[in-house]
Structure 1
């Protein structure tokens, strides 16, 4: 039976929503998905289209969503449609929608930067070497099993979240002389969320195409797409 994947992309161009989502189109096709691509969340309000969708892959940073659109996405997930995304394309989407935040379970707050004395006014000012550490749950989960802790040098997301997420990997923000916090802060880096009959997967790495091409990051997302896909 053919499975139906919907890629929804757009929002802030700095996260390259077209180039990053195109990375995964061949994988989805190879796995037998029929892929539909939309350039805005308007499709979420189409109940018949969403009912036929087994997996949503979203990459829409910031931007806006209407009440009927977020309701359509929520209802589809509750009915079994999977939802997967990375970085700002899912964890920093639709900032004005509390209903969307409730669905996802975690929200980007900031990405701490380098020592101010070392900043040069480029995006790299926010690129920090940091570890992504697989949790005990993650070591046995189909998405992350067999993946070892790894290091990235890119944006390190600080995430505000609730406790209904199942955290597969974390990253720790250390204390620094130029930062105001007083002890290390652990943020979820990869999590899943069960919502009705649906499954949600969020990975915070993914600021650039190059990050998504990292073997561990890409493997987690590809496995996440398969795991999140409608099961019944």
Structure 2
């Protein structure tokens, strides 16, 4: 049986506990044993970290100690998977650049707030994570990220430049989902999932499920 450590916390606006419970159900329905924690000190529990095949994190902003970050980074590098969505993975620990190096991206803006309608374009329809999923429309935050050019982009979106007077980003194409490697570990990220309700959308739920399974090998 695969095992997942699920960490949640940080900014309450992203419904970290509710989102993590939704992801927990996805994993348990897929045969995983899970442990939930609202403390980053779980990253210092060597036995727990060695137990997990997958770490799922939903912690927006917040702060991480050097010791906590080093344990997480080395655990993933040694072969444990890491997966997450939206700000819970790629707007965490803004001062920890090594963490950003591992995840492959960092949020910087969402022009227009959470009412923007845009298209998610599937760039790798042949990838098992995206198989059978067609381009789809979504209304929520459209994440503008600083992204590692080495990530394997699975889906992307294009900015219209219509929001917040930021017309100069019109036509910018931004990754929405990606895979990457970190040492022997696999990292999966999905920029969608602003609230727990969004994780119920069939395409988002399927992408997240498959991405977490991929990361866990």
Common fold, TM-score beyond 0.5? yes
The alignment yields a C-alpha RMSD, in angstroms, of 1.3
List runs of 5+ in structure 2 lacking aligned partners. none
Question: Quick one: structure 1 residues 210 and 30, their matched pair in 2 at CA, closer, same or farther if it must change by over 3 Å?
Answer: closer
In 1: Cα distance, 2:215 partner to 2:117 partner = 29
The 5-angstrom pairing of residues 130-209 of structure 1 reads 130-135=118-123, 138-176=124-162, 178-181=165-168, 183-209=170-196
Which one has a bigger Cα radius of gyration? 1
**CA spacing shift, 1:126–1:34, aligned 2, 3 Å:** closer
Which residue of 182, 197, 214 corresponds with 2:201? 214
- 1:128 maps to 116
Which range moves more in the overlay, 218-227 or 177-186? 177-186
Q: Note the C-alpha offset of 1:225.
A: 1.2
C-alpha separation in 1, matches of 2:39 and 2:133: 33
Structure 1 match to 2:40: 41
Q: CA deviation at 1:205?
A: 0.6
The more displaced of 143-152 and 27-36 is 27-36
Q: Structure 1, residues 125-154: CA drift from partner, whole Å, max 9, x if none?
A: 53200000000xx21111111100001110
My pick for the range that moved more, 185-194 or 47-56, is 47-56
Q: In structure 2, do the counterparts of structure 1 residues 174 and 79 end up closer, same or farther at CA, with 3 Å as the change threshold?
A: same
**Which consecutive aligned stretches of 4+ in structure 1 deviate over 3 angstroms post-superposition?**
none
Secondary structure, aligned partner of 1:139: coil
- CA–CA distance in structure 1, aligned partners of residues 206 and 145 of structure 2: 22
The answer as to whether partners of 1:212 and 1:218 remain within 8 angstroms in 2 is yes
The alignment covers a number of residue pairs equal to 216
How many angstroms apart in 2 are the aligned matches of 1:182 and 1:44? 38
Q: TM-score, normalised by structure 1?
A: 0.89
Per the TM alignment, residue 156 of structure 1 is displaced from its structure 2 partner at its CA by: 0.3
- 1:95-147: per-residue Cα shift (whole Å, max 9, x none)? 1111111111111010001xxxxxxxxxxx53200000000xx2111111110
Whole-angstrom CA distance in 2 between matches of 1:225 and 1:168? 14
User: What is the match of residue 106 of structure 1?
Assistant: 105
Q: Does 1:223 align with 2:206?
A: no
